[in-house]
A and B are shown apart, each in its own frame.
Chain A
Amino acid sequence: MKTDDLIRTLSAEPPARGMTVAARLALALVPGLAVAALLFAVILGPRDDVATAFGHVRFVLKPIEALALAALAALVLVRLAQPGAGASLLALLAVPAALLLAVAVELVLVPRAQWATLWVGDNWARCLSLIPLLALAPLAAALLALRHGAPTRPALAGAVAGVLAGGLGAALYAIHCTDDSPLFVATWYTLAIAVTAGLGTFLGARLLRW
């Protein structure tokens, strides 16, 4: 087909406005989150003392940090899906920075003898496996929405989708997990989200090319 013929074909039906990437992402995350929440309710559920736990700063910080990370990742992701929109990853560093601050405060407040116990916690292996598990459905949803977009760096977009999904999975898991020390969260939650980011990178490089 000659380029002239192609142009004639394309202009026979000018494109409709269509849904923006942001709208598509929001729409996809609704069922993605619903599946994750259902999975959480069925296999985990909130910890027994959840009602009183909301009165403790260390506990409350966990879902807040995780949701903040997910929200920032979503903003970056929408930009990554639009060619030439100039996405910057710096915004994503805000949450790790806040987490480091919390770690510093914790080290001041807690006697040195307890550091190791708090750091390793009771549930690190569960944390590392359950956060990525809870993140699977949101990750699938985000990747599906991204296929509708036009990410010029597919692997990077996949990685950020992994951070977004990992943040959502971590926010849910935080309600179940009894390890609240920032020492634990900064290590194991971060590693768990890194796992989903790695999975997102792998899938993004394969599924998000267009």
Chain B
Amino acid sequence: MSDRDREWAALMRQARGGDRAAYDRLLREIAQAMRPLVRRGLVRHGGNASDTEDVVQDILIAVHLKQHTWDENRPFAPWLSALARYKTIDALRRRGRRAEVPIEDFNDTLAAPPAEDPLAARDVTRSLEKLPERQRAVVRTIAVEGASIAQTAERLRMSEGAVRAALHRGLASLGRNGERTR
């Protein structure tokens, strides 16, 4: 087990105990470590390097939603690698499917001005707009304004439990976004 693996495992244990700072640090380190790996994976398998950030975000959401599938008695890195690999392949598969569009349609798309910013970060913004109003308000308040759960509850006049539930549901559908919309 490497030092980094031990460190990440420790951070995840702290996060599970409710330590927000540890969790924040863990996610930042994961994003940083995954970015070059994802980019390389995408490019090597005929994907688009500009999708990197999108896949990194998919990985972060999956880490969050599936963290209970990491067993504390096992090393962390193999779990993370397998998860990241799955999400990268998933992104390639979705792109591959899109590439099956008939060539005529493709020409139309090329001729028309780009309807959207090709930068992947925009994809997640788009999906945010598809969330039900309440979930969107909660996610936006926390993400953009940096509010805590308690502050969000107060601002939106919801109970903290309702904020947590809306946040979880919102993140779950952000995670499923790629499966449904692309």
**Interface of A toward B, CB cutoff 8 Å:** 1-3, 5-21, 81-86, 148-150, 152, 209-210
Contact = CB atoms under 8 A, between A and B. Distances in A.
A9 B19 contact: no
B171 A150 contact: no
Nearest to B164: A13
Interface in B154-182: 164, 167-168, 171, 175-176, 179
A10 B66 contact: no
A9 B167 contact: yes
Contacts of B51: none
A21 B74 CA distance: 14
A16 B86 CA distance: 23
Contacts of B67: 15, 18
A82 B71 CA distance: 8
Nearest to A15: B67
B24 A7 contact: yes
Nearest to B76: A84
Interface of B: 15-16, 18-20, 22-24, 27-28, 31, 53, 56-57, 60-62, 64-71, 74, 78-83, 85-86, 90, 121, 124-125, 128, 139, 142-144, 146-149, 152, 164, 167-168, 171, 175-176, 179
Given A82-B69, A150-B69, A210-B62, A11 B143 contact: no
Nearest to B15: A14
Contact of B143 (A8, A20, A81): A8
B69 A210 contact: no
Given A1-B124, A1-B143, A6-B124, A11 B24 contact: yes
B125 A20 contact: no
Contacts of B175: 210
